[in-house]
Structure 1
Amino acid sequence: MSFEETEQSKIFPNEAFGYRKIVVERPLRLKVELTKAVLARFRKACAEAKEEPLADVIDAIASVIGQGPHMDFGEFIAAVETAADRASIKPTAKRQKLIMTALAERDETAAPIIKRVYRQGKAEANPLRGRFEATIGGRPCVVEYEPDTELRDTEQVPLLEEGGIDAFFRREVLPHVPDAWIDDASTKIGYEISFTRYFYKPKPLRTLAEIRADIEALEKETSGLLAQILVDVEDER
């Protein structure tokens, strides 16, 4: 059986209806300001979490490094771990989360938080996939950043997109958020059929002559009504 395209039927390859839903990640950026108000708020949070010794550690650090703002959360955490070790307090994941949520705050100008470091030669840099070149301790390396769940977004890339996901990402995403990357593990394929997209035909726009004729007709009609109103007013007098 053969099919021919008409105004009521069209032929498309299956891929024309498909898309890849990609997850766009951006790095978490936190700053820390050790003001009296912030320290008091953090101490209260530590008391509620039964982590009062951690508040003592932060107070001690504040007296050494000052109020800030401290724009590199990684460096700040390193200082916390050193001070905590001296106080025989283990830097557990729970305590670090408490610092992140009750002490630090998001700031787009802060340094991105490093999640993982690859020594030179252990991984290739690929910014589109979240592996960035960096220098730590004077040595070149490749790093992955901690994603910010509040900035996480998604995009739909047509399966027939010329150049694929990478071309779409470079054109549509990076110009707006240059620090973004794609989480390949979260990419999913879906299909969507939009009848409006393929069959809707917009009505042709009216010509200027037609619009002008309507305006002139309305003006004549309005003028006639106004004249009649004036006549009626005179008659009543």
Structure 2
Amino acid sequence: MDFLKSPAMHRVCTADASMHRFIKFAGSAALGKSAALVIRCMRKCTQDAPLMHRAPPDGAAPYMVDIAMTEPEPSFEERKWKQEFEAAERRWIYELQKDDARREHDKNRDFHTDVNKNAVDASNLTLRTLVVINGGAAIAVLTFLGGVAAKDKVDFAHVGRVAHTIIWFAFGVALAVTSLALAYCTHYATAATSSSYAMNWEHPYLSDGPKTRRWRWIKRGIHLASATTALASMVLFLIGMFTASTAITDMLVK
């Protein structure tokens, strides 16, 4: 029972039946067990018991035990294992974040490739169509004038009015070709914007780089110019068709 008088047992406890059972068990356990085992046994027997001071039975000397004794300090091996576990957990989380980052990077590249391909195909088809309809209209007017010139009586004043409509179609072709070139520049600026993003291993995995904002504004400006020239080419085609129709109608009536 010398251990019960050591500094670890710096207080004494009440003499209820459960505490007597603990003292009896602790006295025998202290012979071959460590102090940590005795403290754990005491905490198990006296869990949630209040601190009291009573006279023990059978004339024994008063004693008290601090019920709220703290857990023993973890050993060096336990602390080392805990540190290794936490380091492994951090590495595992970091690898998961890297996998998420790779998926986001791949997704961004795939998205850029698909959208860029579809945009190029659609813009090329639209602009080629504008070139064809404007050029075809100019060729049709020239063919008509060739047939009129083969006749004996030709009113060159009306022929000149019809021929003047070719200018509208010529400018329409020029604007369509310009829009086609601007569309290429738009796709290039889009690719440059996507390539300028900074790729990170932590969320957010993509962020603006030092040149991203500038390329974004360049892309918007060129895109607007390309769409404007394409629309202007379509407007010139409609004006040319209306003018040619009016001139041919006047020539045939007179």
* TM-score with structure 1 setting the length: 0.20
Larger helix percent: 2
Larger strand percent: 1
* TM-score with structure 2 setting the length: 0.19
| Higher relative contact order, chain-length normalized (CA < 8 Å, sep 6+) | 1
